[in-house]
Amino acid sequence: MNESLTGIDLESDFVVLFNGRPGMAALWNVLLRRITPHIQVLERDSGKSTHRVLAESYLALPEKDVFCRSLEQCVRRCEALLGRARREPGVESRDLGEISGPLPDIKDRVSIGIVLRFGAHHLFKRVRRKIASFLYHDEHWTLATHRLEHRRSEPSLPKSGRRVGGPLPAVLSEREWHHLPGRSDHFYADPFLWTDKSGQSHLFFEELSYEDNCGVISHVMVDSRGERFIGEPQVVLRRPYHLSYPFLFEYGGAIFMIPETSANGTIEVYRASTFPVVWELHKVLLNDVIAADTTLFHENDTWWMWTSIASSGEPNYDELSLFYADNPFGPWTPHPLNPIVSDCRSARMAGNVFRDGANRLIRPAQDCERTYGAAVVLCEVTTLTRTTYAERVAHIWEPLKGFDGVHTWNQAGDLAVIDIKRRVSRWTPTRQRRGPSRRKGDENSDLVLRPSWTGRDGNGDSSRPGRDNPTGA
């Protein structure tokens, strides 16, 4: 195979590995087997027994069945990684570890059999997707709440035994989750809670109508148990472009919101002139940027801003950037290690950053490897300064059978809220569903979050099998 066709010079000062193997044929085998590409750039030094990893990435491929598009995306990411590996001496770089022993020097070959199998699978998926798109909404999100005072015992986490997310149990009984009202022609996602001075709980979330496919920010109050809406959801912020992820914070006695406005190429801050229903544009933090799920955190006189920034046409859920400032309105300075995460399994934000019961700094993230918003990942930030950053995955919450994803978790006081994803029929009559949805015989009416302990850290090592094996399932 002529590797010059890719535009990547693999015969340089670096060794590029695709899921542990060198050569573009190795990348082809990864893509043809439809597994997550893991690209590593290593220093080339044949005299050493260990090789330092200079840059790496686990890529999000939204359409694994479209080979050319996936290959193009991998080539662009490889070029970006090579650029990061060439950083000037003295410039800060992440410690990504080392690979011991001799590197593989036998390049893979692409067999005709794997190409034919990929083609057959591609055709099958296209036909199935066409039929499914006619019958179903695959990405239908709804909201569920849990009142933490219902906890019957302290959580028991594997290995560490430490609590994650304060008092939230590691295993939640299905009887403790309550579906909030929903409808089949809209979805509700990205929930954020706010408790006002009177103790009333307010819920802000993205509302999207399948008819116009443009998100707005809606608000509703919930009852003291977090089980029912008080009144009907009301749109409180609408723009000519898509809105989602209404992150909330307070500063100087006022309440502000940073909704996702990536469709407008901005990060915008809105101020509540009449809370909770009237919001006015206060400031544009960044322009000409495709940024998703911007989240602020204030500690020790520094404001931190996490956000997923992507290039045009690329997914915005496999890399994460960090900025810092002296106040929430900037000017914002990019962290020298950006992107601080390049991993579709834990990059994009999934809610407020917080201190847990053990005073660990926890960053909720999304696992988007098998599908967008497949699970919530709790990352422990172990180092956070203006020049250094490190984190490790401490815990993962996955939805059980009957649900396809969970990608936001937030808490205010003793009330927690999540969004959950499942497939719904396009032809179900539109109806407003009220109150808890537990009904006898409805196996999908409640959500159970199943914790799975992982030894994976922020450097990309994983205890999950088969990630770097291009011959695996």
Give residue-wise pLDDT tens across range 55-80: 999 999 988 989 999 999 999 999 99
Q: Report the DSSP beta bridge partners of residue 58.
A: 38, 343
User: What confidence score (pLDDT) does residue 470 get?
Assistant: 34
3-state DSSP call for residue 147?
A: strand
Q: Residue 461: what residue type? A: D
- pLDDT score at 216: 98
Q: Which residues pair with 411 in a beta bridge?
A: 416
Q: Which residue has the tokens 């719904």?
A: 424
- Report the alpha-carbon distance of residue 166 to residue 154 in Å, rounded: 11
Range 139-452 classified under CATH 2.115.10.20 = yes
CA distances 378 to 29, 365, 456, 458, Å, are: 32, 6, 11, 11
Give 61's contacts (C-beta < 8 A, 6+ positions apart): 31, 36, 37, 70, 73, 315
∠ CA 407-380-464, nearest 5°, is 65
Given CA atoms 420, 423, 429, 430 in this order, what sign does their dihedral have?
positive
Three-state secondary structure call for residue 97: coil
Peptide bond into 276 cis (omega under 30): yes
249 alpha carbon, distance to own chain's centre: 20
User: Residue 184's pLDDT is what?
Assistant: 82
| Local confidence pLDDT in tens for the 473 residues of the chain | 444 334 455 556 788 999 999 999 999 999 999 999 999 999 876 566 778 899 999 999 988 989 999 999 999 999 999 999 987 555 566 777 777 766 666 667 888 999 998 899 888 888 877 887 777 777 899 999 988 764 433 332 222 223 334 434 444 445 567 888 888 889 999 999 999 999 999 999 999 999 999 999 999 999 988 888 999 999 999 999 999 999 999 999 999 999 999 999 999 999 999 999 999 999 999 999 999 999 999 999 999 999 999 987 788 999 999 999 999 999 999 999 999 999 999 999 999 999 988 899 999 999 999 889 999 999 999 999 999 999 999 988 877 557 889 999 999 988 999 999 987 777 765 444 433 333 333 333 334 444 443 344 433 333 333 333 333 33
- Structure confidence at residue 229 (pLDDT): 92
φ and ψ at 464, to 5 degrees?
A: -75, 130
- Write the single-letter amino acid at 82: L
**Nearest to 115, CA basis, from 2, 29, 23:** 29
- Which value, in Å, is the radius of gyration of the alpha carbons in the chain? 23
| 8 A C-beta contact, residue 377 and residue 158 | no
Q: What is the pTM of this model?
A: 0.84
pLDDT at 230 (0 to 100): 94
Listed by start position, the domains of the chain span 3-110, 139-452
Residue 356 CA to residue 162 CA, distance in Å, equals 9
Angle at 293 between CA 289 and CA 294, to 5 degrees: 70
